[in-house]
Amino acid sequence: MKHFVALLLMFTCGVLSAQLNPKDIYVNAKVGESINVTINTVQAPSVVVEPSAHDSLSFDPIPGASQSIFTFTPIPGFIGDEDITIEYFIPGSFPGFNIPSYTTIHYRIKESKIDLGGDTELVSPGVATLIDVLSNDTSTDGALSLVKLGLVSGGSASIVNDQIEFTLGASADDGYVRYFAS
């Protein structure tokens, strides 16, 4: 009987330790993005202890690995902070005894605003000119980069090192390039 009591106390201490020392994960994301967080777990089902009212949350065990992927998808239009506490299990000191552990995932969903300023450049026909179109563009979400080019008229254009390389056609009087940044 004493051996059983000692085993029970060790298991209880493990649970209290996990509850008193939760892990915290901080995630920043843009509006409309789904976010994946991978947590090391044993292959026991995880439980969302404190769900969010602002999301769709799913988890998928990774076959053959002691991990689960939690996917947080904010509801359309949600901006702000959200906390989700997940209970999962780690192997205990004794085979067959899995110890619950807790991770709180703190999500900060923020709107990303981009202001693209107009660009004008004097170019010569037939001469490739690099134009730093991002130099007068701003974002509330960090540095911008060129994603793609849209309409190009009066010449040819390509993206080179986050700048637009434009070559005015020999018979063109002017040119126009529409670009997209993120």
Give the model confidence (pLDDT) of 5-22 as tens digits: 333 333 333 333 333 344
Distances (CA, A) of 70 to 41, 48, 108: 12, 10, 16
Cα–Cα nearest to 137, from 107, 104, 113, 165: 113
pLDDT at 110: 72
Q: Is-contact 45 124, C-beta < 8 A? A: no
pLDDT at 162: 93
> 51 or 123: whose pLDDT is higher?
123
Angle at Cα 87 formed by Cα 82 and Cα 88, nearest 5°?
130
The CATH class, in words, for 2-110 is mainly beta
* pLDDT at 60 > cutoff 50: yes
Cα–Cα nearest to 89, from 98, 81, 80: 98
**For the chain, domain boundaries:** 2-110, 114-181
Give the amino acid at 98: N
> 34 or 73: whose pLDDT is higher?
73
Q: What is the mean pLDDT of residues 98-105?
A: 75
pLDDT at 19: 39
Q: Is-contact 44 90, C-beta < 8 A? A: no
pLDDT at 15: 33
* pLDDT at 35 > cutoff 70: no
Confidence label for 156 from pLDDT (cuts 50, 70 and 90): very high
Place of tokens 């605003």: 113
